Amino acid sequence: MRASRPGNRKIHGMENHLEHSYWWVPGSPDTKVHGALSFDPVEGASLTLLDPLPGVRASRFNTPALLGETFDGKPLTLLHSFLAGISDRTTPTEWRSRSTIVAPAVLRGYHLENPDAPIIGRAVLRFAGLRDICLQEWPSDNGELISFVGPGLIAKQATLDGGVVLFRQCEDKTSDRYSKSSEIDIEADIAVDEPLSIADFDQRWITPLETLIVLTAHGPTQLGQFIVLVRDEHGAETEVEVDTHLHALAPKLPADYRPLVRLAALGEDALPFIGRWWQLYWTLGPAAKYLNAALSGDMFLEQKLLAGMSFVESYHRELHDDPVVPRDEHKRNIAAMLDALPNQARRNRYLALLQLGVQQSARERLELLIDRAKDTLPTVPGLDTTLAKELVVTRNAIAHLDRSISKALNGVDLIYAVARLSLVIQINLLLDLELEPNLAGSLVLTSYDRRMPIVDYREQESPQTAGSQATAPA
């Protein structure tokens, strides 16, 4: 799960707010103690119990959830909480105990004793960057500027395997004695076919949507609102707020987004595009988990290069793998070479190495992806075999800390190489999402708007090259 932090929007939940409340262990509602709960988007929830609670001791506290309620009776649940510390004090007249419990997530408005229970049939999410890919306009075929989603009934629903996602415009209004203001946003209202646990909902719906926004918004995102609508046996829905903490390396949100894909640019293909993304996400397998880090993670350049290279190798293996020799021939070759060795110990030693011979090297995989990017944007400099060689040499030098580190990229050359690697990933994903190369190229040029690495500002640019870059709509 991600943080309940809306970026530049209205704060939801209880961020940085102290909540006095009562708490108890599931199954023991008659034993309640007073506590003070606070929530920080980076650190998560912290609960200080002001009295001893039976079972909450360092050697015995083992509960997936801790239940509570505010002074006005609103239910609270700490999910996957654990004991962080105990402070005891004994005086001649009394014994005092303070326990500190921390948790990555808080539910407000519902008691959930079992976090694995399938309670989510519908949820409403807001992400930073989602409104930019939905509301930023693109010229239609007749020249009219249009957006993907509009007010009221101009919402769009994507039907996916296992549920639907409705993208709709909403408006937050605030007022005080002398002023009023409003802000437009986009909500993703997700309804699933079968109820899911919070963890399963996160894996199947929140994370794929988050990664789609990282790609299409061309920047990091954060979950700004997570509202679960829990339905009881009578069909009535209860609105439950979910507050979760940020990852330690969560990057700072940009002041403005320049989306890589404005959904309005796709026209009638926008909803099928979203469907193809969900299919591609699951096809990528483990590589999908590296995509956020490769495109938007807040880390050193060397770490970003390692994340990007790990992604492209797995990405190519899953979608574009092309064995260098037929597998049957490869097996025969291995058998013949092993037969030439003098003993079984040598055969065992070489078997693992020979089995890798059928696979393409990291450089070969990267070269293919760079070629696809170059064919899409032929005027962009630096998309060539030299880039593949430099990235592989630098990756190996950093990963193994060997003497080839002297040949590794550094400084501004490393900055450009990592930026070009991200560009290669973005273009290939757009192509594998079945966008036409001309459209993919136009979207990329619009998003980068002559920023590096679309233009190499280390080199003198000719007037002809400069003019060829400015062909996409603003």
pLDDT in tens, 181-190: 999 999 999 9
How many whole angstroms separate alpha carbon 264 and alpha carbon 136? Answer: 8
Domain boundaries, the chain: 19-108, 120-277, 299-322+360-469, 327-358
How many whole angstroms separate alpha carbon 322 and alpha carbon 432? Answer: 16
How many whole angstroms separate alpha carbon 190 and alpha carbon 203? Answer: 14
In the prediction, which pLDDT does 314 show?
A: 92
In the prediction, which pLDDT does 453 show?
A: 95
47 Cβ partners below 8 Å, 6+ apart? 23, 35, 36, 37, 38, 66, 68, 78, 81, 100, 101, 102, 103
Structural tokens at position 71: 């002074």
Peptide bond into 453 cis (omega under 30): yes
Identify any residues that bridge with 127 across adjacent strands, giving them in sequence order. Answer: 223
In the prediction, which pLDDT does 206 show?
A: 95
Identify any residues that bridge with 53 across adjacent strands, giving them in sequence order. Answer: none
Using CA atoms, how far residue 188 sits from 130, 147, 288, 356, 426, in Å, is: 9, 16, 21, 44, 23
Is the four-CA dihedral 334, 339, 344, 350 of positive or negative sign?
A: negative
How many whole angstroms separate alpha carbon 29 and alpha carbon 26? Answer: 7
Question: Which H or E element spans position 398?
Answer: helix 385-400
Whose tokens are 């209880």? That residue is 14
How many whole angstroms separate alpha carbon 34 and alpha carbon 20? Answer: 7
In the prediction, which pLDDT does 384 show?
A: 96
How many whole angstroms separate alpha carbon 317 and alpha carbon 323? Answer: 10
DSSP assignment of 354-381: HHGGGSPPHHHHHHHHHHHHHHHSTTST
In the prediction, which pLDDT does 443 show?
A: 97
Q: Is 118 exposed, middle or buried (0-12, 13-18, 19+ CB in 10 A)?
A: middle
For the chain, which ranges sit under pLDDT 50?
A: 1-14, 462-467, 470-471, 474
DSSP single-letter state for residue 268: G
